[in-house]
Each structure stands twice: as C-alpha cells, then as structure tokens.
Amino acid sequence: MAPRSRTNNLDATKGAEVPPPKAARTKIDRRVLLVIIVAVLAIAGVVALAPTTTPSPGATTTGNISVSSGADVIVASAVQTTPAGFSLESSKHPPSGSSDWALLQQESDGSEANVTVMVYPSTNASQAYYDKLVAGLKGLTCYTDVTTSLTSFQQYGACYGFGEDVDNIAVVNGLCTKGNVFLQVHLVSSIDFSSLEADLTSIMGALYQSAT
C-alpha cells in the first residue's frame, strides 16, 4: 500500500521542506476537532433530541436490527481492532451505558478521530436523531459530500459523510445508524483528504461490526 502522504512546510530561508512540528500541528488538530464537534452538536440540538429516558443496553427495539450491546461495549470492542492503525487516547463512559465517547490517535501521522456512540430505545428514535442532524448539516454549503465512503454500511441503516480540506488540514465526518444505534466518526489530520476518507471507512466499519 502506498505510504500516507502529508503536507510539509517550506523553510523560506533554506528552501528545504521540513515536516511541521508534531506538537504544534496536534494543537491545531485538537482545536479544529473541538470546534467542528461543537458546531455539529449545536446544529443537531442534542439536548432537545436526547432520549427522555435512559435506555438500558439491552432495550427492546423496533425495526429489522436490534442492537443489545451498550455504547461503552461497542466502542471498546471497535478500539481493540485498532482500525486504520488508530488507538485509544482517551474516553468517557457515562454510567448509563447508553452513550459513549472516545478520542483515537494514529501514532504514525498524528491524525485524530472522535468517536461517538448513542444507543436509543428504538430504531425510530435513532433515525429521528440522525434525520434532524443530517437535515441541518446538508444546509451548509462549505462541505464536500463523502457519503460514498460509507456506501457499504447503508444496507444496515442510513449514512451521511461530509468534510473539507482547509489550510492543509483535512476534516472528515461520518454519521450512520444501525438499528437503534447512532454512530458518529469525526477525523482531523494534515494527511491528504482521500487517505482520511479511507480511515473513516475503516473506523466506521469497526463500529458496525462491534454493534451487535
């Protein structure tokens, strides 16, 4: 497989290419990551759409797919496979087990991924959350549609992908449902956009396989 490409800085005084300082770039990555996450959650209206009751990990659901695993179990199982070389950096596990959040990092190039899993009491509830979120995001004209990166998962539920490449920082997001589960992957990196799309496919695939 061809090596993952990254953008280098140009030393104006020496005319030589030098890699961007990892610490500085990581700081930029984290800032972009947090800004995009806040924007996405604000558009979605998370507070208004969150389940009014706390679903148990084994809650009965409607629809063709019923996932009985808790959100923390889904994330932990997906992380163990180190999809696309990403490993766990930090995580948050609410006591209810109905939602879980984790930050992953690709050690070789510093790419970061934020993973969110929410287990709803029914397929209708997870789909309603997804529909509201995507409706808001599709109204934004600054993003590129990358849903084709998630095509293989659409047999299990709805998926939408979008991203942008600004100032040599690529940002890619994927939103999917699987029965009563909502899955979100947000990636940020200085590697090329197409490579980040491939990472999105790998991480989302690991979450789908873990949501049982």
pTM: 0.72
Ranges of beta strands (E only) in 29-167 are: 86-92, 99-106, 112-119, 144-145, 159-166
Which pLDDT value is given to residue 51? Answer: 43
Calculate the average pLDDT of the chain: 77
**Cα dihedral value 121, 122, 125, 127, nearest 10:** 140
Residues 9-210, CATH architecture? 3-Layer(aba) Sandwich (3.40)
Q: What angle do CA 61, 207, 96 make, to 5 degrees?
A: 55
Highest mean pLDDT (candidates 14-18, 28-32, 97-101, 202-206): 202-206
The pLDDT tens digits for 69-118 are 999 999 999 999 999 999 999 998 777 768 999 999 998 889 999 999 99
